[in-house]
Structure 1
Amino acid sequence: MYDLRWRILRKPWNQPRGSERDQLESKANHYIALFRDKIIGTARFHKINENVGQIRYLAVEEDYRRRGVGGKLLEAIHLTAKNQFIKYVFLNARETALKFFEKLGYKAIEDGPLLFGEIKHKKMRVVFSRSDLRLQRIINNLRKTLK
């Protein structure tokens, strides 16, 4: 997982190994997509507070892009967020990925960081509807009842 992150997100900009991690690794939820026991995609989600979550380090192997892998990773993260009654999730998207995130309901809300002095980002977020969260609360309560 960390190797994929580094190769896709850091190595092309001559960043050292280790730059693909931060201080929140142990507190975050990590997601991987596998194909024939090989990690082909990864993403990370962590709560900022009881209402807000952040996605970081979304990376998919070049040969598996445009096949729905990134979308499935985000779908899994959204389910986790809804299970935790998170109201919205944000991320900093590279400008080359804006259309991908827009197709999944994300809206650009402001300029994001300039990474390594050259990679422009936009801060984007997706807001979950009250009915989504209400339905998730019902499902969670039903699961508890059935245990």
Structure 2
Amino acid sequence: MNIRIREPKTAEEFDKYYELRWRVLREPWGQPPGSEKDDLEGEAAHIVASIGGKIIGVGRIHFNSDIEAQIRYMAVESRYRNMGVGSKILKKLEDIARGRGARMIVLNAREEAVKFYRKHGYEVVGDAGTLFDSIRHWRMSKTL
């Protein structure tokens, strides 16, 4: 399986990127299309994982300060999970953060994703609350 990791370039690719984010991260909890976006989209770096041109995973990173970056909206199509797709997206996002001078990355991980991020060197640093009254999140960080 040849997984390509890159930034989305065209309006069509961005549409597919946001559609996957919504379908995986928002639709299951009854959230409307558009809820997968926030005010930082324009200043963030966006990454897609694709196979044969089909987008199967996404992730985003933005800066909270000159030295702290934050990963958000990591999502992989269910049939491609546990195949290294998320790890490749995460590595690319970390490389972007390092390249722009970040010394730390923070993120809010869903309960079921904590193990994945721990495997990649992140530590739980606090409770990040509950989203949609049902999805427990944990604040995690990693020093670069």
Fold-level similarity (TM above 0.5): yes
* TM-score normalised to structure 2 length: 0.88
- Normalized per residue, the structure richer in helix is 1
Correspondence list, 1:66-105, <5 A: 66-105=82-121
Question: Using the alignment, how far apart are the partners of 1:113 and 1:45 within structure 2?
Answer: 20
Aligned to 2:127: 111
Select 1:19's aligned residue among 19, 23, 35: 35
* Cα root mean square deviation, aligned: 0.6
Hey, what's the Cα distance between the residues in 2 that align with 1:23 and 1:113? 20
Q: Matches of 2:119 and 2:104 in 1, distance apart?
A: 16
Q: State percent identity of aligned pairs.
A: 45
Q: 1:126 & 1:101 partners in 2: Cα distance?
A: 9
1:113, CA displacement in angstroms?
2.3
- Alpha-carbon distance, 1:118 to partner: 1.1
Distance 1:37 1:116 in 2: 32
- 2:30 aligned with 1:53: no
Q: Which runs of 5+ in 1 are unaligned?
A: 129-147
CA deviation vs aligned residue, 1:83-129 (integer Å, no higher than 9, x gap): 1110100100000111000000000000012101111000001101x
Structure 2, unpaired ranges of 5+ = 1-16
Q: TM-score, normalised by structure 1?
A: 0.86
Residue 123, structure 1, aligned to residue 139, structure 2: yes
Residue by residue over 1:25-62, the C-alpha shift from the partner in whole angstroms, topping out at 9 and shown as x without a partner, is 01100000010110000000001110100000000000
**Divergent runs of 4+, >4 A:** none
The structural deviation recorded for 1:73 is: 0.5
| SS of match in other structure, 1:72 | helix
Supply the distance in 1 between the matched residues of 2:67 and 2:35 (Cα, whole angstroms): 28
